[in-house]
Structure 1
Amino acid sequence: MKNFLCLSSILVTSLGLAACSNNNSSAADRDHNTSNPLNQAPEQPKEDRISDTRIKLTFNDKEVLIRMYDNPASMAFLAQLPLTIAFEDYIGKEKIIILQKRLSADDVQAGDLSKKGDFAYYAPWGNVAIFYKGFEDATNDLIILGQIESGKENVENIHGDFTVTIKKVTK
């Protein structure tokens, strides 16, 4: 009986080792396997996420053209257009508006730092901002909705509160 238990133990151990060593691919092979349908595409750089959609901000006989990014928050903003809304200056670096209806930030990765010319959404407050000066100390809770293409100086040179009409630009 003792021999049988010993033999059984050896058999179980051998089967276990055989099962573990049956994997013919190395870790390096698995990392480079592109035929695996579970592999996710690498995140595209921000520059590739820009869309063909533009919006126009009109105020005081001036215009600002913004090219929107292709993300769910940008699409939610576009769905609220056209808008006529008052912008106010915030800390001498950005112009902000508080939207009547907050944007859905689901499925959008916040974490971008702002830079001059960004059109962004700050989900914790529900406001949209146009950054007209560099902002090294900005929060990283921003969702960048778009980037100013033209008229940046019009935002920089306006002082105080001002009313803006925002419309989607058709081609």
Structure 2
Amino acid sequence: MKIIPEYNGIKWMLICFGVFLLAILVIGCIEQNNIDQGNISNQSEDEQIEQKEAPMPYAQTLDEGEEISKVKSSEQTVSTEPEHGLALSDMSVKITSQGHIATFQLYDTVASKELYEQLPLELDLTNFRDAQWMFYPPKKLNVTAQEAYHDGKKGELSYYGPWGDVFMLYEDFYAGDEMHRLGICITGINEIANMSGSMQIEKNELSQEEEETKMRISIQASGETTIYELNDGKAAKELYEQLPLTIDVEDYSNNEKIFYPPKKLDTTNTPMANAQFGTLAYYAPWGDVVMFYDRFGSAGGLYELGNVISGGEHIKNMSGTIQIKKV
């Protein structure tokens, strides 16, 4: 009989034990992978449920001082269907609550006109997340993608379609879902936060005296005169206060003339520009005033100051030194 040495038996025992440990390790890895996949699946389901059950689409307040920097360049492609640029209309509304008054200039949109046509109204105010006061007009408004936005700014009057509420922002706010702009606060922006209870919203129609005090400026260049009517934004008012000016005009790109006022303009309560032929705008990053003689669209940091009311055909030919005066 052949005798197997004892050390061979120990060797085989160690091999078997090693195989057993390896099998346990493999099984453990498989089970852990299944657990991880289950957690991911459950997390995804929880997120979907949370999203569906979220009462409002607002996500978070913008960090103080947060801003997006964009470069103005002739090589930059700028959409003429802007996400954040709308032309202002002649419609203005006044909102009064607890003795606090704010006025808003409405944009030239269907939704803004539909709100305007429902006025005057007396409605209750509801606060949301210490950033806005909202109210519900009797009839819902028809909005389009052009008015949609996510990053709300203090002083904006906007509309949220799913709830049918109009709201005034008194703090910057980020919206996880799409809101739609209706207008911009032109006076009383710091009064909004102090409103509560009920409010009255009415058409803010100008009297004859107020009509006569509209800010208009003339720009003379090469013997021709171009006249602009300024809006009620703070930037437009600050430009108006610097007049008269004798200043050099420059070409930029193939659709605008620019000049640099001595003092930079404060863009608080100033609407973003959706530049068309005749738009007078201010590009905050550069500090230049822009006179458009062709369609441009919108760009980050481009604000509307006003629009041409006569002599727009002369903008393209402006050169050298120009004189800017109050009319």
Query: TM-score per shorter chain, which class?
Result: 0.5 to 0.7
Q: Does structure 2 retain, via aligned residues, the 8 Å contact 1:95–1:130? A: yes
Matches within 5 A, 1:83-122: 83-105=121-143, 107-113=144-150, 114-122=152-160
How many residues are paired up?
127
Q: Work out which of the residue numbers 102, 105, 109 in structure 2 matches 1:67.
A: 105
Q: Does 1:123 align with 2:164?
A: no
**Structure 2 letter corresponding to 1:153:** N
Which residue in the other structure is 2:203 paired with?
168
TM-score (norm 1): 0.67
- Structure 1 CA distance for aligned equivalents of residues 132 and 83 of structure 2: 25
Q: Does structure 1 retain, via aligned residues, the 8 Å contact 2:88–2:108? A: yes
Deviations 1:68-118 (A, max 9, x none): 00101101111110101111111111111122211122x453531211111
Q: Does structure 2 retain, via aligned residues, the 8 Å contact 1:72–1:108? A: no
Q: Does structure 2 retain, via aligned residues, the 8 Å contact 1:111–1:140? A: no
Distance 1:81 1:43, change over 3 A: same
- Structure 1 CA distance for aligned equivalents of residues 142 and 131 of structure 2: 25
Q: What SS class does the counterpart of residue 78 from structure 1 fall into?
A: helix
Return the index of the structure with the highest Cα Rg: 2
Q: Does structure 2 retain, via aligned residues, the 8 Å contact 1:66–1:150? A: yes
- Structure 2 CA distance for aligned equivalents of residues 124 and 59 of structure 1: 25
Q: Does structure 2 retain, via aligned residues, the 8 Å contact 1:73–1:108? A: no
**CA-atom RMSD in angstroms:** 2.0
- Structure 1 CA distance for aligned equivalents of residues 116 and 86 of structure 2: 19
Q: Does structure 1 retain, via aligned residues, the 8 Å contact 2:127–2:134? A: yes
Which runs of 5 or more structure 1 residues have no equivalent in the other structure? 1-40
- Structure 2 CA distance for aligned equivalents of residues 70 and 169 of structure 1: 16
Q: Work out which of the residue numbers 80, 83, 89 in structure 2 matches 1:51.
A: 89
Residue 157 (structure 1) shift: 2.5
- Structure 2 CA distance for aligned equivalents of residues 62 and 111 of structure 1: 28
- Structure 2 CA distance for aligned equivalents of residues 125 and 45 of structure 1: 22
Residue 44 (structure 1) shift: 6.2
Which runs of 5 or more structure 2 residues have no equivalent in the other structure? 1-78, 207-327
Query: Relative contact order (C-alpha < 8 Å, sep 6+): which is higher?
Result: 1
- Structure 1 CA distance for aligned equivalents of residues 171 and 181 of structure 2: 15
- Structure 2 CA distance for aligned equivalents of residues 110 and 45 of structure 1: 7
